[in-house]
């Protein structure tokens, strides 16, 4: 059962992002700025798609890369399900909290207002915290060297993006952002 929830988590996460982007685009709000400022962003989709395929292939017994389990624990797998559920919940709450300010990438031309309420009152980066929770959950459900490698790689990519966004936020929102940083932690 946990393996199916792992696949469902990936599909729900992707569905939430695409649905939110589609709804906002219907309202005339461009949401995809991925790769506009840094062409190295285009290395991320293959990284993500490989993980998506790996999880779905493992869950439904499709052909995949051989990756023997590092350990097996039913308890760890269920803990992974809980982390995936927590990550999805935090991700959904973050999308709702974002309101019309949701973007994939950095929108330098139409940044909107600084979002500090909802999930953003607990963490300056709840979407990225949610992604790390999901990656950790995926590893506990499928404990192999590939999903293990995704943890530090994913955390590094998330941290890299956060640092890039912080430069923009400091420049764009000035003292308002500085005050927000003093009140709310970067992660948790």
pLDDT digits (tens, 9 = 90+) for 107-153: 778 777 899 999 999 999 999 999 999 999 999 999 999 999 999 99
63-94 pLDDT, tens digit each:
998 789 999 999 999 999 999 999 999 999 99
Q: Whole-angstrom Cα distance, residue 98 to residue 113?
A: 10
Sign, CA torsion 150/84/15/69: positive
First to last CA, the chain: 30
Q: How many C-beta neighbours within 10 Å does residue 133 have?
A: 20
pLDDT surpassing 80 at residue 36: no
Domain at 2-183: CATH code: 1.20.120.1630
Q: Whole-angstrom Cα distance, residue 166 to residue 173?
A: 10
Alpha helix positions (H), 142-185: 145-183
Q: Are 164 and 35 spatial neighbours (Cβ–Cβ below 8 Å)? A: no
Q: What is this structure's pTM?
A: 0.92
């Amino acid at each position: 059962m946990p393996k199916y929830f792992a696949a469902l988590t990936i599909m729900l996460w992707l569905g939430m992002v695409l649905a939110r982007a589609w709804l906002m685009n219907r309202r005339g709000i461009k949401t995809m700025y991925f790769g506009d400022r840094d062409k190295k962003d285009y290395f991320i989709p293959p990284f993500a798609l490989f993980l998506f395929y790996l999880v779905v292939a493992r869950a439904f017994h499709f052909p995949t890369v051989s990756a023997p389990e590092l350990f097996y624990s039913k308890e760890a797998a269920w803990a992974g399900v809980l982390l995936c559920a927590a990550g999805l919940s935090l991700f959904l709450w973050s999308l709702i909290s974002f309101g019309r300010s949701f973007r994939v990438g950095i929108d330098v031309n139409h940044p909107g207002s600084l979002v500090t309420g909802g999930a953003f009152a607990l963490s300056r980066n709840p979407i990225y915290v949610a992604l790390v929770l999901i990656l950790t959950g995926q590893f506990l459900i499928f404990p192999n060297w590939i999903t293990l490698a995704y943890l530090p790689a994913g955390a590094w990519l998330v941290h890299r993006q956060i640092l890039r966004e912080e430069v923009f936020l400091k420049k764009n929102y000035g003292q308002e952002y500085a005050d927000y940083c003093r009140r709310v932690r970067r992660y948790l």
